[in-house]
Amino acid sequence: MCSSVGPWKPSRRSRRSPVPRMPAGGGVGGVVLTPVMHRLRELGGGVDRFSQGVLLQAPPGLGVERLRAAVQSVLDHHDALRARLSVHDDTTWDLHIPPAGQTDAAQCVRRVDVTGVADGGLDEVIAVEAESARGRLSPVSGVMVQTVWFDAGPEVSGRLLIVAHHLVVDGVSWRILLPDLQTAWQAATTSTPCTLQPVGTSFRQWAAGLVAERGEVQRPAHGCACAGSRS
């Protein structure tokens, strides 16, 4: 999908201190604001379109229902993708992660019929849809991810566009999210249980560790971007 923050790697200074314990509530609840998010907040202005995206080749007959099921599995597995931002008087940000199941993948999946569209025309359609997908992102509504399937027909490979808000992804995140999405889609295709690799470090724990490492005051309710790490 998009990028994320990767595992927290303590510096020499931080190795002298214990790794922060898992915050109460596990991966669900308020998140401390990381330095990157502080900088974004201080810039002011709208941040809804601050995102990353990837364009993938999709197998013929990807299936909108199977894609929806796969996206739901990934949303439920990676807490950060369900994050919701609250903005108070443009100066105070609160980032909160609700429990799994409270973000509906239906609002994150769109199918576009491009059957018979030539390559040049397809590029134009993708460009328009990419802008539209960014416009549908809404951190305050908890909409952090958009996927657009360009359906070229049952016998032709299509494209899959994934756009995610930078609050919850970065360049490293895709290495985790894309394989998980593929695994979840394969499970939906074969009607088998979806089993994704455990998330070893939640986004909340990672953010708390980063803030503690840098000696910054921890305040629940401030966010950055990460889908969690495997370590």
List all residues 6 or more positions away from 224 whose beta carbon is below 8 Å from its beta carbon. 5, 31, 33, 34, 35, 36, 37, 167, 203, 207, 210
Q: Which band of pLDDT confidence, cut at 50, 70 and 90, is reported for residue 46?
A: confident
For 69-104, the pLDDT digits (tens) are: 999 999 999 999 999 999 887 678 999 999 999 999
Supply the pLDDT for residue 171.
86
What are the DSSP E strand ranges found in the chain? 29-31, 51-58, 84-88, 92-97, 109-113, 145-151, 158-165
Most confidently predicted of 136-140, 167-171, 205-209? 136-140
Buried b (16+ CB within 10 A) or exposed e, 214-224: eeeeeebbbbb
Return the percentage of the chain with pLDDT > 90, whole number: 60
- CATH number of the domain at 12-213, out of 3.40.50.2300, 1.10.8.60, 1.10.510.10, 3.30.559.10? 3.30.559.10
Token pair belonging to 155: 């016998």
5, 41, 63, 54: which is closest to 209 by C-alpha? 5
**C-alpha span between 97 and 67 (Å, rounded):** 23
202 contacts 22 by C-beta, under 8 angstroms: yes
For 114-162, the pLDDT digits (tens) are: 999 998 899 999 999 999 999 999 999 999 999 999 999 999 999 999 9
| Residue scoring higher pLDDT (28 or 223) | 28
Supply the pLDDT for residue 230.
58
Answer yes or no: pTM beyond 0.85: no
